[in-house]
Chains A and B, each alone.
Chain A
Amino acid sequence: MSMQAAVAVKLDPEAEALDALRRKDRRQALTVLMQAYGDDLYRHCRHMLGDDDLAADVHQTVFVHAYRDLERFSGRSTLRTWLYGIARHRCLDAFKAKRRRRRRFVITEELPQLADPQPRVDQRLECCGGAAALELAVQKLKPKARIAVLLRYHDGLTYEEMAEVCGERAPTLQARVARALPVLRRSLEAPGDPT
């Protein structure tokens, strides 16, 4: 193997992780995957869940489950897509858990109206150039639409890769994204607090 080929293998995390898997070295494979996709997956979880602590927990869980199931990775998709599939399932689990918590614990007393410690929307728009408002609008989307929009435009997956991640047909996902974008636009155009 020439020097250039070695460097190319070194730079391609997919190939490096698969090579480690062939050597039955799960630890090396997971290390490569964490270095390559850790940050992107965390942002994906953060935008999906809208909560830092919950996103950190789900993010770690994704890699723990990946380590557990790496030996069963069949290679039908890329490792990146496979990791996003795990993240999607864990995020949906977190949604369900949150719904269950809300159903189980009913607030009986009216809580006092407290001011939101975070800056107001207009302030966010001013300081961050609308990113915060867009984030809030994304949070208002339904989970399936949110996943589709984030996978497509935030994580840059193709519709075919999204179909592998979500287990749905690519045209279905394309239509879902197309329906979500006008909703986002309306949320951003709406006057007042978008939340």
Chain B
Amino acid sequence: MTTLDSHDKREVVAAIADLGTRYQPPPRWEARVWARVLRSELPTPPRTSWLRYLVPAVAVVVVIGVSGVLGAALWRTHRELGLVQTAVEDERDEVEQLRRDLVEARTEARRARVENARLHELASLRSLECADADADVGVGMDMGERPRNQLRRKSPQRTKLRPSVGVGCDAYDPLCGL
């Protein structure tokens, strides 16, 4: 056994060389090496590829994209249908309003006609009263007192009966209606 008393370089070197005899590898270490070798030669499962995560990610993105496009199209269609519906309803309201206006106008016209008829009737009655009161006054119509020379010049066919207006009196008769 090398001593280290002198601590000489040569002795240190020899002591280092002697260190090797102190340790022995564990028993059956060769069998353990072979076991590890065989284990390393076993087929290993394929390493997890990034494609394994890429494919589901792409699928999710595609599904979300298609859903979004379809949703947008549906929303746009729905909105356009709503606009058409609104336009139809507006038009229907307008037509209804026009119909009501027409009915009102007709009613108004009817009322005006009735009023007119009543006024005519009233005028007729007044004319009759005027005829009773003064025999000289024409009833409702006159021949038109025009100068004789004008009458002469015109043909008899052109001489028309002029209906009396207003209260049914002759406009040329200043006493009519008095």
**A positions within 8 Å CB-CB of B:** 30-31, 34, 38-40, 42-43, 46-47, 52, 56, 59-61, 63-64, 67-68, 125, 128-131, 133-135, 138, 149-150, 153-156, 181, 184-185, 188-189
Contact among A38, A64, A184, A189 with B25 in the assembled complex (CB-CB below 8 Å): A38
Q: Does B78 count as interface, using CB distance less than 8 angstroms?
A: no
B24 and A42: CB pair below 8 A?
A: yes
Nearest-CB residue, chain A, relative to B4: A130
Q: Does B18 count as interface, using CB distance less than 8 angstroms?
A: yes
B25 and A56: CB pair below 8 A?
A: yes
B30 and A34: CB pair below 8 A?
A: yes
Provide the B1-41 mask, 1 if CB < 8 A to any CB of A, else 0.
Answer: 11110010100110111111011111001101100110010
A188 and B7: CB pair below 8 A?
A: yes
Known: A131-B22, A154-B20, A188-B4. A59 touches B12 (CB 8 A): no
Cβ–Cβ < 8 Å partners of B40 in chain A: 64, 68
Cβ–Cβ < 8 Å partners of A130 in chain B: 2-4, 15
Chain B's interface size range is 20 to 34
* Chain A: minimal CB distance from B32 (Å): 6
12 A-B pairs with CB atoms under 8 Å apart are: A30-B37, A42-B23, A42-B24, A42-B29, A56-B26, A60-B32, A64-B40, A67-B37, A130-B2, A130-B4, A138-B19, A181-B9
A64 and B36: CB pair below 8 A?
A: yes
Cβ–Cβ < 8 Å partners of B7 in chain A: 185, 188-189
Cβ–Cβ < 8 Å partners of B22 in chain A: 43, 128, 131, 135
Give Cα A128–Cα B23 distance, bound, in whole angstroms.
13
Cβ–Cβ < 8 Å partners of A129 in chain B: 1-4
B17 and A153: CB pair below 8 A?
A: yes
Nearest-CB residue, chain B, relative to A185: B7
Cβ–Cβ < 8 Å partners of A63 in chain B: 33, 37
A40 and B33: CB pair below 8 A?
A: no
Cβ–Cβ < 8 Å partners of A31 in chain B: 30
Task: Tell me whether chain A's interface is mostly helix, strand or loop, or mixed.
Answer: helix
A153 and B13: CB pair below 8 A?
A: yes
Give Cα A42–Cα B1 distance, bound, in whole angstroms.
21
Give Cα A31–Cα B30 distance, bound, in whole angstroms.
8
Give Cα A59–Cα B4 distance, bound, in whole angstroms.
30
Give Cα A42–Cα B27 distance, bound, in whole angstroms.
12
B1 and A131: CB pair below 8 A?
A: yes
Give Cα A63–Cα B29 distance, bound, in whole angstroms.
11
Give Cα A46–Cα B23 distance, bound, in whole angstroms.
8
Contact among A39, A64, A153 with B24 in the assembled complex (CB-CB below 8 Å): A39
A131 and B37: CB pair below 8 A?
A: no
Nearest-CB residue, chain B, relative to A132: B22
* Chain B: minimal CB distance from A168 (Å): 20
A181 and B29: CB pair below 8 A?
A: no
A134 and B25: CB pair below 8 A?
A: no
B4 and A133: CB pair below 8 A?
A: yes
In this complex, the member of B3, B15, B30 whose beta carbon has the largest number of chain A beta carbons within 10 angstroms is B15
Cβ–Cβ < 8 Å partners of A61 in chain B: 36
Contact among B15, B17, B20, B33 with A60 in the assembled complex (CB-CB below 8 Å): B33
B20 and A59: CB pair below 8 A?
A: no
Cβ–Cβ < 8 Å partners of B23 in chain A: 42-43, 46-47
Known: A133-B4, A134-B4, A185-B9. A149 touches B16 (CB 8 A): yes
In this complex, the member of A56, A59, A64 whose beta carbon has the largest number of chain B beta carbons within 10 angstroms is A64
